Structure 1
Amino acid sequence: MWIWFALLSAVFAALTSILAKIGIENVDSNLATAIRTAVVLVMAWGIVFLTGKQHGISDIAPRSWLFLVLSGLATGASWLFYYRALQLGEASKVAPIDKLSVVLTMVLAFVILHETVTVKGILGGALIAVGTLILIL
């Protein structure tokens, strides 16, 4: 089941890039990011309330709060830089560079989370990195 969610994530991430590139024309990239974030905030809380999960807030451990806040800060920084890059560059070049996050995630998962490294994983990460270089050069 997770693979379907991952594939849908990829589809919507692709749409995000195209829609954002069109939407930020003549709009400050930081303002555009704030508007996007407000929409995401309303949508996410709407889903929480629609599914009745808002009662779980009090059950969240302090450590989880810390890492969720840090993740939110990282997301915010990523979006701010992404929108600025989109405003200045071509979506077909910005998006592949942004997707190097896949390779960085694989490395960090090994170093920080001690996830298993496989030959298949190394090869896949290397192909993503090489593919990105080919696309942007």
Structure 2
Amino acid sequence: MPEWILWSLLAAAFAALTAIFAKIGIAGVNSDFATLLRTVVILAVLAAMVPLMGKWQPLSSVPARSWLFIVLSGLATGASWLFYFRALKVGEASKVAPLDKLSVVLVAIFAAVFLGERLATVNWLGVALIAAGTVLVAWRP
């Protein structure tokens, strides 16, 4: 099994736990403040883990273009988290999380448009099925 599959499945499992833990945790807490607390926890964990795993590198070794896109990614992540926690605050986790996963569909589209990645017809069919499945999971009659 390729290594990326293991990491992807672990990411999915922890993303699922994120939704459940967050839904429980935001009871009685402003969603934006809860997002800040979550971010502080993530920062603390990463600040400890990166040096312990020997992955630290000098900031000067990061190319300017990488800095730009890492910052843009951070801004997008922050916005995503704020919107996600607000959605969880007012909606059901079983509806919010599937709609959030429409990001899978958007990634496929953006990767094709902006990165020039090519998906076969069967891949696009899968993307369409993910979109349809996401809507069906979130929709309640």
TM-score bracket for this pair, using the shorter chain length: over 0.9
Aligned equivalent of 1:11, options 10, 13, 18:
13
Post-superposition Cα deviations, 1:77-108, rounded to whole Å, max 9, x if no partner, equal: 00000000000000000000000000000000
In 2, distance between residues paired with 1:120 and 1:3?
A: 19
Post-superposition Cα deviations, 1:10-47, rounded to whole Å, max 9, x if no partner, equal: 00000000000000001000000000000111111211
Post-superposition Cα deviations, 1:27-74, rounded to whole Å, max 9, x if no partner, equal: 000000000000111111211111222234221000000000000000
Q: Choose 27-36 or 45-54, whichever is displaced more.
A: 45-54
Which position in structure 2 is the counterpart of 1:52? Answer: 54
Give ranges in structure 2 of 5+ residues lacking alignment: none
What's the RMSD between the two structures over aligned residues?
A: 0.9
Q: Choose 26-35 or 41-50, whichever is displaced more.
A: 41-50
Q: Secondary structure at the match of 2:56?
A: helix
In 1, distance between residues paired with 2:21 and 2:57?
A: 34
Aligned length: 137
Which position in structure 2 is the counterpart of 1:79? Answer: 81
TM-score calculated relative to the size of structure 2: 0.94
Q: Secondary structure at the match of 2:12?
A: helix
Which position in structure 2 is the counterpart of 1:92? Answer: 94
- Displacement of 1:121 in angstroms is 1.4
Which position in structure 1 is the counterpart of 2:123? Answer: 121
Give ranges in structure 1 of 5+ residues lacking alignment: none
Q: Aligned residues: percent identity?
A: 57
Q: Secondary structure at the match of 1:54?
A: coil
Q: Choose 59-68 or 46-55, whichever is displaced more.
A: 46-55
Q: Secondary structure at the match of 1:117?
A: coil
* 4+ residue segments displaced more than 4 Å: none
